Structure 1
């Protein structure tokens, strides 16, 4: 996998995580492509798990 493609997916995951931490719903995902959307949602889910862990 090319670095550029990997960076985009990492960025989607990080943005999903930030959205989850700040309380946005998963319907707010800005990505349309399946691969980027799944990484964003993965980050969002991780944020939800972390919020429950810290609470």
Structure 2
């Protein structure tokens, strides 16, 4: 069960990263659950850092 839960959180992080790389706003987060939302936002923040590093 832990593996399945971790996979969901990893997927939320990856989706947040993809949203950030494409320039979407953090308000576009599709998750309502706190843990998934925080992982999505973590991915989004990482993407923002990477976008600045590339530019």
Which range, TM-score by smaller chain? over 0.9
Give the Cα–Cα distance (whole angstroms) in 1 for the partners of residues 36 and 18 of structure 2.
15
Distance 1:41 1:12 in 2: 9
Q: C-alpha displacement at 1:53, in angstroms? A: 0.2
Give unmatched runs, 5+ long, in structure 1.
none
Return structure 1 stretches of 4+ with deviation > 2 angstroms: none
1:25-44 matches, within 5 Å, as: 25-44=25-44
Task: Report Cα offsets for 1:31-54 as digits up to 9, x if no partner.
Answer: 000000000000000000000000
**Equivalences, count:** 55
Q: CA RMSD in A?
A: 0.9
TM norm structure 2:
0.98
TM-score (norm 1): 0.98
